[in-house]
Chain A
Amino acid sequence: MATGTKKQEQGDAASGQSSQASPELVVKDGLTGPEAPANGREFGSGRRNALKKYVDEEQLARGLGWFSIGLGLAELLAPRGVAKVAGVRGNTGLIRLLGLREIAHGVAIFTHGRRPAGALWARVAGDALDLACLGAAYASPGNDKARLTFATANVLAVTALDVLCAQQLSAEPEGAQTERGKVPVNKSIVVNASPEEVYRFWRDLENLPRFMRYLESVKETGEGRSHWVAKAPGGSVEWDAEITEDTPNQSISWRSLEGSEVETSGTVRFEQAAGGRGTIIHVQLDYNPPGGAVGALFAKLFGEDPDAQMQIDLRRFKQVIELGEIVVSDGTLVGEGYTEQRPAQPLGVGIGAGQLQK
């Protein structure tokens, strides 16, 4: 799947590590040109690194939650078995109590939201207690030292995971933001039309609000400049932008003018899909989340998953190109981003009864 390009890869790598991609490394894009693309390239590795940390800690927390519940149940229901494995003798009452604590930790992890940092720190405290019990068990002559050592090593390993997870959860979630606070969005879609048609539509920037849900209007003001108005809670945000690169039928780049309230830049590339199967549109967008109301708007628009939001807009773009309008259903007649749904029954209004399709 040649959905990325060297240039995009560079952008991703840059966003993952350093925001300063050295200019001489930028390979002029061959994919959008008439020449056949070279094969044997690697794609996507930069992107994975950029998101890896964000994904892993939450998954890890859930894994540890299940582990807590599983171990807790074992301790509660089969304390003798657990004692045997751990190499300790006797105190089933204590082991049952430890089991109850484990279950409580597990439940806390699942009930304290998506980032249960507190519950993870509680697990760390519990680990300390377990280690203390195991330490005390060493002093008792009747216990199996080899098994105790094995059990202690396991608890230490889990403790390390707990500490790591708790630390990461305690840090603010960064989303896909990079060090400079820039949020990159990268998405692509295939459209059943030629690069020429698709380019022509996009180059008329005034078309963008037809499929980009957050835009109210774009007005071309001449000399490659344009005035953008976006919806915001209780009003709108405006900024001016300029086209920085325009290669007919291949790509368009733009950025907001210096001093704008919103700092944003983007590139869209039009790649002839293999086998004449239409055009692949690659959109790369960067923005610096501003503060205040505008920041709140962008947070809402691009939320936790800016790529997914862009994908929805690109799907709308595809519909506008292939069908001339955006397809609506009864269940999606309200709200932005289709995340808000109403029952799948007629609303009782039709075409022309307001901006239903926006």
Chain B
Amino acid sequence: MRANCWYGKQDVRVEQVPDPKILNKRDAIVKITSTAICGSDLHLYNGFIPTMQAGDILGHEFMGEIVEVGPEVHDRKVGDRVVVSFPISCGKCFFCEQEMYSLCENTNPNAWMAEKMFGHSTCGIYGYSHLTGGYAGGQAEYARVPFADVGTLKVPEELDDEKVLFLTDIFPTGYMGAEMCDIKPGDTVAVWGCGPVGQFAMASAYLLGAERVIGIDRFPERLKMAREGAKADTINYEQANVYETLMELTGGRGPDACIDAVGLEAHGTGAHGLEYAYDRAKQALMMETDRPIALREAIMACRNGGTVSVIGVYGGFIDKFPVGSFMQRSLTMRTGQCHVQRYWKKLLGHVQNGDIDPSFVVTHRMKLDDAPHGFDIFCNKEDDCIKVVLKP
């Protein structure tokens, strides 16, 4: 089959690789009909996530048709049209029982690696380095899906791929980011990063009852999508001082909740320029792995007693964490890789009811063979690229 493989920094290639086979009894093989490039794939693309190997197949947002099932798959059958959750979860361990699927204890065969990095391991993830298991990803024609009963959701035929594809990751991720804010009627929620996850965080904040949602970014097309797609107010951080603008908008109190949908490769210009240069230098010298510019600002801006929700991906260590602000002002921080399977049925309901059409984030559709081009324009924000969907 054809698959998009990682070969090094900004080097991905679509190559011929062996077809996947059933390896465990609860596996299914899915023939992929749609697959997407995730913003977090760019962290791999830019070489910020360790333990990648040349030849690793990328991709953790994919859907398709089940073409083969292992002997212990009971609730899915050949022919089912399914979306696949990016966390690989066993459904039997302590964390799966608590519906904390991304913390599954059994699906990362390289847990020892993750323990060295994080102290404890998380679940396995498709196509996301060997630190999260070394599973082949879904930017391919076929994929092996372990624990198919837990890790797939059947989707109705009448909904197009693009309306359900994002149930695999970014819609639930944005939704969890908003849910972690514990939104109450009248709340103002600020969202750093108007990429696809940020868009869904903004839309979800409204679904959960926020009064006002403010999106922060620097790319006009993303800010426009935030205003038109997610119905948020926006701040362009290249043109305005974010902290001052947020204080102005909230009478000096600050947003009730702040969502970091940026993660470890934050940029900064204008007022952030010096800070960006500082973090960039420390990152280059390997004195920190992640650039927490958005996170710092989210903490400083959040109202006293408010919640900072972190769904942008961080991978290692940061510097100058404003712990004083965080502690003195009774802030709460909530984080996590999304427990997709906890949310996706409910979110599918929202799609079916017409509360939201997730396809509003798609800007580019191309063939799987064009994945390297997709990565390039997505990474460099060329051609107003926000979300790329690939068709095998």
Q: Is B155's beta carbon under 8 Å from chain A?
A: no
B146-179 vs A, CB cutoff 8 Å, 1 = contact: the mask equals 1000000000000000000000000000000000
The 0/1 profile, CB within 8 Å of A marked 1, for residues 1-35 of chain B is 00101000000000001111111111000000000
Considering only CB atoms, which chain A residue lies closest to B15 in the complex?
A345
Residues on the A chain within 8 Å of B137, using CB: 344
Q: Which of B19, B22, B94, B127 contacts A344 (CB 8 A)?
A: B127
On whether the beta carbons of B23 and A348 are closer than 8 Å, the reply is no
Identify which of B102-110, B289-297, B307-315, B330-338 touches chain A. B102-110
**Would you call A332 and B134 a contact (CB within 8 A)?**
yes
A312 in the interface, Cβ–Cβ < 8 Å?
yes
User: With A330-B135, A345-B55 as given contacts, are A351 and B70 in contact (CB-CB < 8 Å)?
Assistant: yes
**Closest beta carbon of chain A to B97's beta carbon, Å:** 7
Chain B residues, CB < 8 A from A341: 53, 110, 130, 134
CA distance A327 to B111 in the complex (A): 12
Identify the interface centre among B24, B106, B130, B137: most chain A CB within 10 Å of its CB.
Answer: B24
- Shortest CB–CB separation between residue B237 and chain A, in angstroms? 36
Cβ-Cβ contact count across A and B, 8 Å cutoff: 121
Interface size on A, residues (CB 8 A): 35
Q: Quick check: is B136 within 8 A (CB to CB) of the other chain?
A: yes
| A325 proximity list for chain B (CB < 8 A) | 24-25
Q: What A residues does B144 contact at CB under 8 A?
A: 330, 346
A330 touches B92 (CB 8 A): no
Q: From B134, which residue of chain A is reached at the shortest CB distance?
A: A331
- Is the CB of B90 closer than 8 A to any CB of chain A? yes
In the complex, residue of chain B having the shortest beta-carbon distance to the beta carbon of A352? B22
Assembly CA distance A190 to B26 (angstroms): 23
Task: Say yes or no: A346-B17 contact (C-beta < 8 A), given A325-B24, A327-B146, A328-B109.
Answer: yes
A27 at the interface (CB under 8 A from B): no
Query: Contacts A327-B146, A345-B56 known; A190 to B24 CB distance under 8 Å?
Result: no
The answer to the question of B278 belonging to the interface, with a C-beta cut-off of 8 Å to chain A, is no
Per-position contact with A for B52-75: 1 when CB-CB < 8 Å, else 0? Answer: 011111000000000000101000
Q: Considering residues A311, A325, A328, A333, which has the most beta carbons from chain B within 10 angstroms of its beta carbon?
A: A328
Of A5-13, A219-227, A283-291, A315-323, the segment with at least 4 beta carbons within 8 Å of chain B is A315-323
CB distance from B158 to the nearest CB of A (A): 33
A329 within 8 A of B: yes
Asked if B22 contacts A350 (CB within 8 A), the reply is: yes
| Contact present for A323 and B111 (CB under 8 Å) | no
Asked whether B106 lies within 8 Å of A332 as measured between CB atoms, the reply is no
Chain B residues whose CB sits within 8 angstroms of the CB of A319 once the complex forms: 106
Which residues of chain B are within 8 angstroms of A330 by Cβ–Cβ distance? Answer: 20, 57, 134-136, 144
CA A271 to CA B179, docked complex, whole Å: 37
Residue ID in chain B nearest A353 by CB atoms: B21
Q: 8 Å CB contacts to B: which residues of A334-358?
A: 338, 341-351, 353, 356
Whole-angstrom distance between the alpha carbons of A341 and B24 in the complex? Answer: 18
A74 at the interface (CB under 8 A from B): no
Chain B contact residues: over half helix, strand or loop, or mixed? loop
B93 is an interface residue with CB less than 8 A from chain A? yes
Residues of A near B127 (CB, < 8 A) are: 344
The answer on a CB contact under 8 Å between B133 and A331 is yes
Residue B321 interfacial (CB < 8 Å): no
Q: A interface, by DSSP: helix, strand, loop or mixed?
A: loop
Chain A residue, CB-CB nearest to B128: A344
Q: Is the CB of B134 within 8 A of A192?
A: no
A278 in the interface (beta carbon within 8 A): yes
Known interface pairs A318-B106, A322-B106, A330-B134; A343-B146 also in contact (CB < 8 Å): no
Q: Is A338 a contact partner of B57 (Cβ separation < 8 A)?
A: no
Q: Chain A nearest CB: distance from B292 CB in Å?
A: 24
In the assembled complex, the CB of A246 is this many whole angstroms from the nearest CB of chain B, namely 28
What B residues does A48 contact at CB under 8 A? none
- On whether the beta carbons of B21 and A329 are closer than 8 Å, the reply is no
Cα–Cα, bound, A344→B130 (Å): 8
Question: Given A311-B112, A322-B93, A344-B56, is A327 in contact with B107 using a C-beta cutoff of 8 Å?
Answer: yes
What is the CA–CA distance of A338 and B109 in the complex, to the nearest angstrom? 8
Tell me, yes or no, whether B124 is within 8 Å of chain A by CB.
yes
* A40 close to B (CB within 8 Å): no
Among B17, B18, B26, B94, point to the contact of A192 (Cβ < 8 A).
B94
Q: By the criterion CB–CB under 8 Å, are A338 and B93 in contact?
A: no
Provide the B108-121 mask, 1 if CB < 8 A to any CB of A, else 0.
01111000000000
Residues A331 and B110 in contact in the complex (CB < 8 Å), given A341-B134, A344-B56, A345-B3: yes
Task: Confirm or deny: A308 has a beta carbon within 8 angstroms of a beta carbon on chain B.
Answer: yes
* B124 near A329: Cβ-Cβ < 8 Å: yes
Contact A329 B109, CB 8 Å, known A344-B130, A344-B137, A345-B18: yes
Which residues of chain B are within 8 angstroms of A53 by Cβ–Cβ distance? Answer: none
Question: What would be 5 A-B contacts, judged by CB atoms less than 8 Å apart?
Answer: A190-B94, A322-B106, A332-B109, A344-B57, A344-B134
Seen from chain B, the residues whose Cβ lies within 8 Å of a Cβ on chain A are: 3, 5, 17-26, 53-57, 70, 72, 90, 92-94, 97, 105-107, 109-112, 124, 127, 130, 133-137, 144, 146
* Top-10 shortest CB links A-B: A331-B134, A350-B21, A343-B55, A348-B18, A346-B20, A344-B56, A332-B109, A330-B136, A344-B134, A346-B18
